[in-house]
Chain A
Amino acid sequence: MEHWLEWARGPLFRASFAIMILGLLRVLVLQAISLFGLIRQAKRNQRKIPYAVVAKASLRWLIPVGKLFERRAVFSLTSVLFHICIIVVPILLGAHILLWERGIGLSWPAISMQLADILTLGAIVTGLALFVIRLSVMANRAISRAQDYVWPLLIVLPFLSGYLAMHPAINPFSYEASMLIHVLSANLIFLLLPFSKLSHMALFPATQLVSELGWFLKPDSAQKVMTTLHKENEAI
């Protein structure tokens, strides 16, 4: 078991983390290339891009306080808490920072163990709640794909196993077993992240800009479509 754990924490983690970073960089670079293209085109056509509107909308969604109780309040609140928990704990947990320090010599301030415990429980509860909402609300079911059900459960797994590993008194499994599940499930998330809807974590900042620029049509696009489809002489 210990060998497996070492392998999962060492080479497997490095590989999955690298794939996540490179994968996210890939989608970011692709997005940047297309966005720069669209912006250049807009400038060439002397169009004004409403950056203020875009920035305002992006900020409103980054700090969605005003959006919480506007629509689907229970779902929105659960989702926001879920996001806070799953972002804060992995990055600011003391034990994780220690690993980073050992590995690459970098460290940053940690949150207290009590807060980490609360947020971990928060991630588990809200993650399961999101799964239940998806399963029980008809509108959610109607638009859910298989991966939409799997993601909340998969994300809860490292939090649950990590919590159990840190609390031997309530842990029915051995420390090594919980830790192995913890590390393996986290690695799986890293590995799949850039190829799934979770890539929104990197693409989110520009999402409002994309929707705005989408309506900036290419001046000659309609003409070219007509030629390609051989409809030049076609009556309406």
Chain B
Amino acid sequence: MKAQAKYSYHVEAVDGQERPRRFLEAFAAILEHSNYGPVLEHYTRVSAKCSRCTASCQVYEASGDPRDIPCHRTELLLKVYRRYFTLAGQLKARLYDYYTLTDAHIDEMAEEFWRCTACRRCKLSCPMGIDHGMVAHLARWVMSEIDIVPKALLVSVREQLEGKSKNTSAIPVAAIKDTLEFLEEELEEVFPDQKIKFPVDVEGAKYVFFPAVSDYLMEADTLMGNAAMMHAIDASWTVGTQNLDGIDYGLFYSDRMWERIIKAQLAEIKRLGGQVMLIGECGHASRSAREGMQNFIAPEDRVPVVNIMELAHEKFRQGKLKLKPDVIEERTTYHDPCNIARTGWIVEQPRVLLRHICKDFVEMDSHGVNGICCGGGGGTVSIDEIHEFRMMIGGKTKAEQIRKTGAHYVVTPCANCKKQVDEIIKAHKLPTNRVGLHDLLIKAIDFS
């Protein structure tokens, strides 16, 4: 038996000994204290192995590899659950040589659960409503407790929680302040009469802004659009320098990290006396904040979580955000980030804005709640080692979808999707430009 497995992603593992025992200990602890037990109990009983999910998984459709079938992957964990945590499994193990958790089985899980983009599209085609994304989330949590977690995610979380910068990209606060000043100057050049600001550490501001920190590095247009929109609606908002990163990779692999990150973010809101947690253009940051706030924070301490596109839409409907119609002449399409669209939370809001400002807005063939993942979901986009997999398998369907629309712009309001779609466009040589929603909104805002 191998002491330490080699996966298609880097792992910063220290202890390769006795992994099956440690896996079962971690699994037992999680089942004992969490709500996942009843869910697995239910799934083991109802899973009929009908294979309907095969037709809704873009990874399986592109790879044709049986291990990418959502139900196949889920069964890996259910098998362990059935053997060690149900009466029937324990009886069977006593009666005959039933099944024993091995190192090889753990390796299989480590590989398969990180090929899933956790987009949860398969849940919609499962007659039994099995949430394979939730099972992947749980399996990754158990594995992370025995040190099996992609290094790319681990070092980001370490920096965010224990590093100096308190953000996943380890950008020093001074550098971020410089960036914001630079962006203010840029905005002044474009809108000399407006004095659009990025308020920093303003105590008592209503909205405390948490974009994905990568926006500070790579998405200047999105950030300027965010600031212009907030200026146009005359919002009281601020960026907090002690914790400004909306990213929460806990959603992808560990409830423990999820909780710690949302608590650190909330502490910053409380420090500034803010009332609303405003998330930038990012799917997983929005979902992890909204659900994390409900999951881990006591009711009396919670603050509302709002995605910036929701806010723009609300103000547009109220007439407080004025947008010039048909400003964008080129054909434009919209990519739905799974974490905000799958449950129907943010589907129509950005479309209302886009239909107003774009002359030629087109939809992809499968969109909205039923949208197809960019292929970088569930944290996989951060893992550079699997770039080839993300391009040719995970992102293949998305590339075809974008190409079919013939769009000049694909609006991608999520930090993860943005990186993945950029790479897809390059790898598949698509004649499309990837933008954020606010990159376009800024061109249409009517400040008068």
The chain A residues found within 8 Å of chain B, CB to CB, are: 27, 30-31, 34-35, 37-38, 41, 45-47, 53, 57, 61, 64, 67, 70-72, 75-76, 79, 137-140, 142-145, 148, 195, 197, 199-200, 203-204, 207-208, 210-211, 213-226, 228-229, 231, 235-236
Query: Which residues from B are CB-within-8-Å of A138?
Result: 66
Please give the distance in Å from A148's CB to the nearest CB on chain B. Answer: 5
A200 to B34, CA, bound (A): 24
Query: Which residues from B are CB-within-8-Å of A213?
Result: 35, 39
Question: B34 near A211 (CB under 8 angstroms)?
Answer: no
Question: B33 near A228 (CB under 8 angstroms)?
Answer: yes
Query: Which residues from A are CB-within-8-Å of B256?
Result: 222, 225-226, 231
Give the interface segment out of B103-111, B122-130, B196-204: B122-130
Size class of the contact patch on chain B: 35 or more
Question: B51 near A229 (CB under 8 angstroms)?
Answer: no
Query: Which residues from A are CB-within-8-Å of B128?
Result: 200, 204, 207
Q: Beyond A203-B45, A217-B296, list 13 extra A-B contacts (CB 8 Å).
A: A31-B42, A38-B35, A61-B127, A143-B51, A143-B72, A197-B45, A200-B46, A211-B130, A216-B295, A221-B30, A224-B32, A228-B33, A231-B145
B38 at the interface (CB under 8 A from A): yes
A225 to B213, CA, bound (A): 29
One of A30, A35, A72, A217 near B55 (C-beta < 8 A):
A72
Query: Which residues from B are CB-within-8-Å of A235?
Result: 158, 162
Q: Which secondary structure dominates where chain B touches chain A?
A: helix
Q: A71-B52, A138-B66 are in contact. Are A211 and B129 (CB under 8 A)?
A: yes
Please give the distance in Å from A90's CB to the nearest CB on chain B. Answer: 19
Q: A46-B299, A221-B34, A229-B26 are in contact. Are A199 and B52 (CB under 8 A)?
A: no
Encoded as 1 (CB less than 8 Å from any A CB) or 0, chain B from 34 to 50 comes to 11111101100111111
B88 at the interface (CB under 8 A from A): yes
One of A35, A225, A229 near B34 (C-beta < 8 A):
A225
Query: Which residues from A are CB-within-8-Å of B344?
Result: 53
Question: B34 near A228 (CB under 8 angstroms)?
Answer: no
Query: Which residues from B are CB-within-8-Å of A140?
Result: 49, 51
B17 at the interface (CB under 8 A from A): no
One of A30, A199, A225 near B33 (C-beta < 8 A):
A225
Please give the distance in Å from B15's CB to the nearest CB on chain A. Answer: 12
Please give the distance in Å from A56's CB to the nearest CB on chain B. Answer: 10
Please give the distance in Å from B231's CB to the nearest CB on chain A. Answer: 33
Question: B66 near A214 (CB under 8 angstroms)?
Answer: no
A35 to B30, CA, bound (A): 18
Query: Which residues from A are CB-within-8-Å of B75?
Result: 143
Query: Which residues from A are CB-within-8-Å of B272?
Result: none
Please give the distance in Å from A22's CB to the nearest CB on chain B. Answer: 16
Query: Which residues from B are CB-within-8-Å of A220?
Result: 33
One of A137, A204, A215 near B46 (C-beta < 8 A):
A204
CB nearest to A147 among chain B residues: B49
Query: Which residues from B are CB-within-8-Å of A225?
Result: 26, 29-30, 33-34, 145, 255-256
CB nearest to A130 among chain B residues: B50
One of B34, B39, B145, B343 near A210 (C-beta < 8 A):
B39
Query: Which residues from B are CB-within-8-Å of A57?
Result: 129
Among A64, A138, A225, the one with the most B-chain Cβ atoms within 10 Å of its Cβ is: A225
Top 10 closest pairs, chain A to chain B, by CB: A142-B66, A34-B38, A71-B55, A224-B33, A221-B34, A214-B39, A228-B29, A200-B46, A46-B299, A217-B295
Question: A211 near B45 (CB under 8 angstroms)?
Answer: no
Question: Could you list 6 examples of A-B contacts with CB < 8 Å?
Answer: A45-B299, A207-B46, A210-B42, A213-B35, A223-B259, A229-B25
B174 at the interface (CB under 8 A from A): no
A225 to B259, CA, bound (A): 12
A72 to B98, CA, bound (A): 33
Encoded as 1 (CB less than 8 Å from any A CB) or 0, chain B from 219 to 241 comes to 00000000000000000000000
